[in-house]
Copies of this chain bind each other. A is one copy, B any other.
Amino acid sequence: MKNILLVILDGLGDRPNKEFDNMTSLQASFRPNMNHLVSEGLGGILFPITPGIRAGSDTSHLSILGYNPVEVYTGRGPFEAMGLGMDVKPGDIAFRANFATIDENGIVTDRRAGRINSGTDKLASALRMNIDGVDFFVKEGVEHRAALVIRGDNLSDRVTDTDPHDLGRKPEIVKALDNEAAFSASVLNKFLAEAQKILGDHDVNLERIKNGLPPANVLLLRGPGKAPNLQPFHEKYNMKAAAISGIPMISGIAKLAGMDLLKVEGATGSLDSNFKNKFKAASRALKIYDFVLMNIKATDVAGHDGKPIEKKKAIESIDAALSDLDFKPEEAVICITGDHSTPCSVKDHSGDPVPILFNTSGILGNHIRFFDEVSCLKTGLNLRGLDVMPYLLQLSDRAEKYGA
């Protein structure tokens, strides 16, 4: 049996760029290690969900790890909360939240509290409370954005939003969508009333009013979702697993799947991340763990920024860092792919296929010379997200025979 290293280069896929004479960032990059791995291994394309679907990083990682998002994805609430670095446990209910402004009659006058850009950390921590045995946690995000996680027994996500989505109206009260959600709606309404008092009196807001800025005196909730109870990865695949990820959302998913999270010095989740340290850490981890998931965010950041030259540079740095892997092809299977495309020309995720490579000793390969979208689109290997884990299991001599 071999161990497995699954490297997900976030948003790896690209479309043609004028800067590179209509090549993708990956095609244009100097990537001798990736090219070597694919030419001695197997290359193809991957649709992270199914063809054409514009996957998020959350749904895509779930799918690639073998958790069908159609079955387990419970809406953005829990994943956005994880994305802010919140601890989200199975059964928790999470919401996307806005700090907003209401006037003295309780009417929403600014859904973004003037795009407040400081002090929300203090406001969020002031809202930590326990009501009727339920714990409430708020964490601030960029500007007015935040998330709410509630934890306790008998909670349900079958409740309505409070965000009126328009100005000139009061925030809605939380309503239960079925009988089992009555308790959740009740504690949420108590929390929101209490939160409104705390926010109204908070120094951050008194200061804002003094400066003529709209106070962040109410929390609007939307997109409730229950954190999924994923079958533990080690149970599903009989592999001890760890994750190396610089981005909280992916760390959150790994944690929900019961993986150990490994810290890497200099890993930032951005373009300046220390890729060498990440691959060194992965090599060490492969001596202890059967399965290591690594996410590298830099490629996605450059794609969202619409910067092909940055994306190419990131790929080249990652490729160079691959030299720091120190295991033999007899010891492990390596798979490198993306969770979706983030074309520089789109500055957001697209539904294009991403390239995927597998390399290990003795593999049945297809001898393509280059690892990139176009070369991989010319092979006959055409996988979907849920195919990746079975393929890795069989390459690592870990798959059970289906039948006799």
Spell out A's residues near B (CB within 8 Å).
Answer: 13-16, 24, 42, 44-45, 49-60, 69, 73, 76, 79-80, 83, 249, 341, 343, 345-346, 348-353, 362-367, 373-374, 376-383, 387-395, 397, 399-404
Residues of B contacting A379 in the complex (Cβ-Cβ under 8 angstroms): 377-378, 380
From residue A63, how far is it (CB to closest CB) to chain B in Å? 10
From residue A19, how far is it (CB to closest CB) to chain B in Å? 13
Contact across chains for A364 and B16 when beta carbons are under 8 A apart: yes
A373 to B42, CA, bound (A): 12
Contact across chains for A366 and B377 when beta carbons are under 8 A apart: yes
From residue A145, how far is it (CB to closest CB) to chain B in Å? 12
For the A-B complex with A16-B364, A56-B404, A352-B364 known, give 9 more contacts whose Cβ atoms are closer than 8 Å.
A49-B402, A51-B390, A53-B390, A54-B401, A60-B403, A343-B362, A348-B401, A351-B394, A351-B399
From residue A291, how far is it (CB to closest CB) to chain B in Å? 15
A377 to B404, CA, bound (A): 26
The answer to whether residues A399 and B366 also contact, given A379-B378, A380-B45, A380-B382 and a CB cut-off of 8 A, is: no
From residue A147, how far is it (CB to closest CB) to chain B in Å? 12
Contact across chains for B53 and A364 when beta carbons are under 8 A apart: no
Residues of B contacting A388 in the complex (Cβ-Cβ under 8 angstroms): 52
**Nearest-CB residue, chain B, relative to A383:** B51
Residues of B contacting A365 in the complex (Cβ-Cβ under 8 angstroms): 16, 374
A403's partner among B52, B79, B346, B364 (CB-CB below 8 A) is B79
From residue A203, how far is it (CB to closest CB) to chain B in Å? 33
The answer to whether residues A79 and B404 also contact, given A52-B393, A350-B394 and a CB cut-off of 8 A, is: yes
Residues of B contacting A15 in the complex (Cβ-Cβ under 8 angstroms): 362-364
From residue A228, how far is it (CB to closest CB) to chain B in Å? 13
Residues of B contacting A377 in the complex (Cβ-Cβ under 8 angstroms): 42, 364, 366, 379-381
From residue A236, how far is it (CB to closest CB) to chain B in Å? 14
Contact across chains for A402 and B367 when beta carbons are under 8 A apart: no
Residues of B contacting A399 in the complex (Cβ-Cβ under 8 angstroms): 52-54, 351
Residues of B contacting A54 in the complex (Cβ-Cβ under 8 angstroms): 394, 399-402
A44 to B395, CA, bound (A): 21
A400 to B52, CA, bound (A): 11
The 7 closest A-B pairs by CB, nearest first: A56-B403, A52-B390, A351-B394, A59-B403, A52-B391, A51-B387, A366-B377
A392 to B363, CA, bound (A): 30
A45 to B42, CA, bound (A): 14
28 contacts between A and B (CB under 8 A): A15-B362, A15-B363, A16-B363, A24-B364, A50-B390, A51-B387, A51-B391, A52-B393, A53-B399, A54-B401, A55-B402, A56-B401, A60-B403, A69-B403, A73-B403, A80-B404, A346-B397, A348-B401, A349-B401, A351-B390, A351-B391, A353-B364, A364-B373, A364-B374, A364-B377, A366-B378, A367-B374, A377-B379
